[in-house]
């Protein structure tokens, strides 16, 4: 003997819901906008390196090599010198698009930390110590009143654009100092949007020194740009142009 089971609908459940006055109720709509995905993300760091530029005070840069979460992410950072010689870097990434290939994107960043006149240096990246050194051994030569101002003989320049937003700009200058007792020094001014004027010279220690040229490479942080035409002048001469 077979049993057949059938489900019977409740007659009341089949009735239309009527609003007061016998009119159909309007459909219920949800005007809440969809949640926006968090645009921030990490930077996956593989290695770091501390660069010290030959200048006084010494210019410090942190080189970070790693990967961004996707090709649509850009690195962003903040640097704070929390105490003398201790630099804390907060490094994150931010996406520029909602839809993107889910693949890591290699990145190399040059982060300007600040300056140092010597002594212990400690660099923290997102709370972890990544670089420690003592610049006291470099014996930096501070400018003295009796020092002699001289030129920097420039052989070549290179414009470096860091992958960040806004983009960080650096001018690499290679050439020679008048003697091994000279130190490079510079100042940078953005005279108009996208136009950076660099004054580059050298200053001797005021001591007797062998008269022979000294090779030098300096990394000069220019500033930032959100895009557009870039011009860089060194001592009044145009050395680099670019359109970002």
pLDDT category at 84 given cuts 50, 70, 90 is confident
Residues 6+ apart with CB under 8 A from 227: 167, 244
* pLDDT given for residue 230 in this prediction: 93
In angstroms, the CA 236 to CA 232 distance is 9
User: What is this structure's pTM?
Assistant: 0.52
- Across the beta sheet with 58-68, what order do the strands follow? 44-53, 58-68, 105-116
More confident residue, 57 or 196: 196
Provide the CA 20 distance to its chain's centre, in angstroms.
Answer: 63
Answer yes or no: is pLDDT of 112 > 60. yes
**For 216, how many CA atoms within 13 A lie in the half-sphere containing its CB?**
28
What digits encode the pLDDT tens for the residues 19-37? Answer: 455 555 555 555 655 545 5
- Terminal C-alpha separation, the chain: 84
- Residue 218: exposed, middle, or buried by beta-carbon count in 10 A (0-12, 13-18, 19+)? buried
Answer yes or no: is pLDDT of 57 > 80. no
Tell me which residue of 79, 59, 62, 87 sits closest to 188, measured CA to CA.
Answer: 59
* pLDDT given for residue 239 in this prediction: 94
């Amino acid at each position: 003997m077979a049993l057949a089971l059938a489900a019977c609908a409740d007659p009341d459940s089949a009735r239309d819901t009527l609003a007061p006055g016998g009119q159909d109720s309007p459909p219920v709509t949800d005007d809440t906008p969809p949640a926006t995905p968090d645009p921030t993300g990490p930077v996956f760091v593989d290695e770091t390196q501390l660069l010290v530029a030959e200048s006084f005070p010494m210019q410090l840069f942190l080189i970070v090599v790693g990967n961004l979460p996707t090709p649509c992410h850009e690195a962003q950072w903040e640097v704070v010198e929390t105490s003398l010689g201790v630099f804390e870097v907060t490094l994150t990434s931010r996406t520029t698009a909602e839809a993107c290939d889910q693949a890591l994107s290699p990145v190399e960043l040059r982060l300007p930390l600040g300056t140092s006149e010597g002594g212990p240096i400690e660099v923290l990246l997102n709370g972890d110590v990544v670089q420690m050194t003592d610049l006291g051994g470099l014996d930096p030569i501070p400018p003295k009143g009796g020092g002699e101002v001289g030129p920097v003989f420039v052989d070549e320049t290179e414009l470096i654009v860091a992958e960040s937003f806004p983009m960080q700009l650096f001018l690499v200058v290679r050439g020679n100092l008048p003697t091994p007792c000279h130190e490079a020094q510079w100042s940078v001014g953005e005279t108009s949007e996208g136009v950076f004027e660099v004054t580059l010279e050298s200053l001797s220690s005021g001591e007797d020194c062998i008269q022979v040229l000294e090779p030098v490479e300096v990394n000069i942080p220019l500033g930032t740009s959100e895009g557009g035409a870039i011009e860089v002048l060194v001592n009044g001469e145009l050395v680099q142009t670019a359109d970002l």
